[in-house]
Structure 1
Amino acid sequence: MRRSRNGSGEEVKYHKLRRNVDDGFIDLQFQRPPPKIPYKAISLATVLFVIGTVLLVIGSMLLTGYIDAKYGDRTWPVIILGAIMFIPGAYHVRLACYAYKGYDGYSYDDIPEFDE
């Protein structure tokens, strides 16, 4: 119990009220669990990124004539297939890198997981 003086000089007794109300919540349930890293999805994205990059480079070499013209009929299919693999691979590898670095707005939850 504490005593203090109010503005008129009188002593006022007061004590801190205790809260005995149990609302059923604990602090731990409001904390986010550590992120689960989707290794399988990240590895697939990395494979798509690497193979797509290789196919785009080969397609570009075919298009420019750096590789012999006898393979000219394979130029556009290689470029299209490379782009189809490169775009999602690069996107998900970028998401994984930003989540790893801890940038605001990026998390491993943005990368789809493979459920077995």
Structure 2
Amino acid sequence: MAARRNIPYSVLPTEDRDEDNVDRRFTYTPKSLRRILWKSIALAVFLLLLGSTLLFLSYFISMGHMEGDSSQVYGLLFLGILSFLPGYYETRVAYYSWRGAQGYTFASIPDY
């Protein structure tokens, strides 16, 4: 049987929450939503370029334009796909969020 630890705790309030006691985690903070995550965008672009480079290398080796073995082709192809797909997806998300900030939003779609 596990030993019990002496952990102090406080009793939770039993009454309902007042309107003044709002959990700040769920409040809308526009300043934090407008900041641009440059490191994430840089990582996405890096993965996109690395994946594209690896895919081109595997293509050139398989077509005989470069020296290499068939096992290198499959390895570069696997690593290229593994890095290209997340890079492409995240770069596309960053582009569409930037384009949405330029005035194209769901609210601008007309209701018919």
Structure 1-normalised TM-score?
0.58
* 2:30 aligned partner: 33
Structure 2: runs of 5 or more not aligned: 1-18, 21-26, 107-112
RMSD: 2.3
Segments ≥4 residues shifted beyond 4 Å: none
* 1:49 aligned partner: 48
Q: Are 2:93 and 1:95 equivalent residues in the alignment?
A: yes
Write out per-residue CA displacement over residues 8-66 of structure 1, whole angstroms, 9 at most, x where no aligned residue. Answer: xxxxxxxxxxxxxxx98xxxxx8761522111111001100001000000001111222
For structure 1, which segment, 59-68 or 74-83, has the greater mean C-alpha deviation from structure 2 after superposition? 59-68
Give the fraction of aligned pairs with identical amino acids, expressed as a percent.
29
* 1:20 aligned partner: none
For structure 1, which segment, 57-66 or 80-89, has the greater mean C-alpha deviation from structure 2 after superposition? 57-66
User: Paired residues, what number?
Assistant: 77
Q: CA deviation at 1:73?
A: 2.8
The structure richer in strand per residue is 1
Partner amino acid for 2:55?
L
Partner amino acid for 1:81?
L
Q: Which has the larger radius of gyration?
A: 1
* 1:71 aligned partner: 69
Partner-residue secondary structure (3-state), 2:65: coil
Structure 2-normalised TM-score?
0.60
